[in-house]
Structure 1
Amino acid sequence: MITTPEPQGARARQTRYFRARNAGLRYLKVWHIELGHPGGEYSDVGHHLTPPDRHEPTLLTRVLNERTDEFRGACLRCEWEGKPYAGTGWKEGANEAIEEAHDHVFPGWRDLPAMPRPKGRWDMADGQRLLHQITRLYPEGWAEDGGPLLVWPAPRREPHEPPRVNHARYTIGVARPAKNQAGPGTETAEQKVLF
């Protein structure tokens, strides 16, 4: 019996996934890019021959069994992949994998200031405030290069948000600082905090 080695890299794994799926093979246990994450579009004709101009984080996933999914961070430009994270809860392990992919693509992102989660997509004043804070407080070119936006999450742990139309970066939720630690110029043990 001849077996082919498992491909490395997010783009190659996505190609293998769709080829297995379209051939009627068992495809759920094959690593692939999570739907809605960069590079997760349909393609069975082979991954793009030309990688993106810059390193770009994404999320790989596969089903281990009926109760467990596995996730790992990956890069669309190169063949880098992070270690697998598994969990029995919904999307458990996905945030850790996304964060590891950001460590590869945007070293130092964990030291950036966090801000309150935006109120909504359609709040123009909130969007303008956010853009001003990113351009003023994040490294030059951060927004243009797709660097993540760090926000305080809702009370329960929520999945990090992948890029979407008009928001070309991940939104990564971080722990909200204690009230006595929050404020301009103050720092928690892990991050600078805004507000």
Structure 2
Amino acid sequence: MSVDAAPGTADPAPSPTGQCVVAVLSWSHNPPMPNPPTVRDPERHLRYRSFCDGCGHAGPIRSGEGEAVEDGHDHAFPGWRGMPVLVHCPYNIDSSSKKKIAKWEADARRAYPEGWFERGGPVLEWRGSAGTRHVPGRAPGGGYAMAVVRPDRPDRPGAGRRPAEQPVQTSLFG
């Protein structure tokens, strides 16, 4: 392989269409392997890198999956970081979910350029600080749902408001 691939892996074959597609390779790193340490993972455990099925481009080796996913999108979908950020797609949890998901998808298709999702483009979604993973297969065309942390979480009831002052109880049974 012309780039430093995951040790012991074969070259993935480029896509016959030649269209750039985001894929993320991961492997477990053990000390005898020649991968350099990184700031986030000085012990050199798990490694990730983006790989383009369309043209064979490989991104740098990363300690975090999210960084590798973003590298792949920088290659396959230049300008993705400037796309509109939407509320996250509703989850399929009850009988009304299908309608909510269909409405969300229609809104997403109106907000993004024509053909974006058909090419596997990502959708950017507002998330809380606990939901920062970029999720494959959650965009309307099957691409990634890219997490964008919402600083103040105004989508949560009561967010941004301080609790009302409560009267102080002077005695337990008084």
TM-score by length of 2: 0.66
Counterpart Cα distance in 1 of 2:75 and 2:86: 23
For 1:65, give the aligned amino acid.
N
In structure 2, what is the equivalent of residue 61 of structure 1? 26
Cα deviation 1:59-97 (Å, max 9, x = unaligned): 0111113971001111001121111111xxxxxx10010
State the Cα distance separating 1:50 from its structure 2 match: 5.3
In structure 1, what is the equivalent of residue 135 of structure 2? 161
Counterpart Cα distance in 2 of 1:49 and 1:167: 20
Counterpart Cα distance in 1 of 2:116 and 2:16: 20
Count, aligned residues: 139
In structure 1, what is the equivalent of residue 110 of structure 2? 136
SS state at 2:29 partner? strand
In structure 1, what is the equivalent of residue 126 of structure 2? 152
Task: Identify which of 79, 91, 94 aligns with 2:56.
Answer: 79
Cα deviation 1:130-151 (Å, max 9, x = unaligned): 2222221111111111110111
**Structure 2: any 5+ residue segments left out of the alignment?**
32-42, 156-174
Within a 5 Å distance, the mapping from 1:1-195 to structure 2 comes to 7-8=1-2, 29-31=7-9, 51-65=16-30, 68-86=45-63, 93-121=64-92, 123-163=97-137, 168-178=142-152
Range that drifts further, 70-79 or 116-125: 116-125
SS state at 1:127 partner? helix
Counterpart Cα distance in 2 of 1:120 and 1:53: 33
Aligned partners of 2:136 and 2:144 also within 8 Å: yes
CA RMSD of aligned residues (A): 3.1
Task: Summarize the Cα distance change of 1:111–1:47 in structure 2 as closer, same or farther, 3 Å threshold.
Answer: closer
Aligned partners of 1:30 and 1:62 also within 8 Å: no
Aligned partners of 1:106 and 1:147 also within 8 Å: yes
Q: Which one has a larger percent helix, Structure 1 or Structure 2?
A: 1
- Quote the sequence identity (%): 28
Poorly superposed stretches of 4+, deviation over 6 Å: none
Aligned partners of 1:52 and 1:76 also within 8 Å: no
Cα deviation 1:138-167 (Å, max 9, x = unaligned): 111111111101112243143211127x85
For 1:127, give the aligned amino acid.
I
Aligned partners of 1:8 and 1:79 also within 8 Å: no
Counterpart Cα distance in 1 of 2:29 and 2:101: 39
TM-score by length of 1: 0.60
Counterpart Cα distance in 2 of 1:49 and 1:173: 28
Larger Rg, first or second structure (1 or 2): 2
Task: Summarize the Cα distance change of 1:48–1:84 in structure 2 as closer, same or farther, 3 Å threshold.
Answer: closer
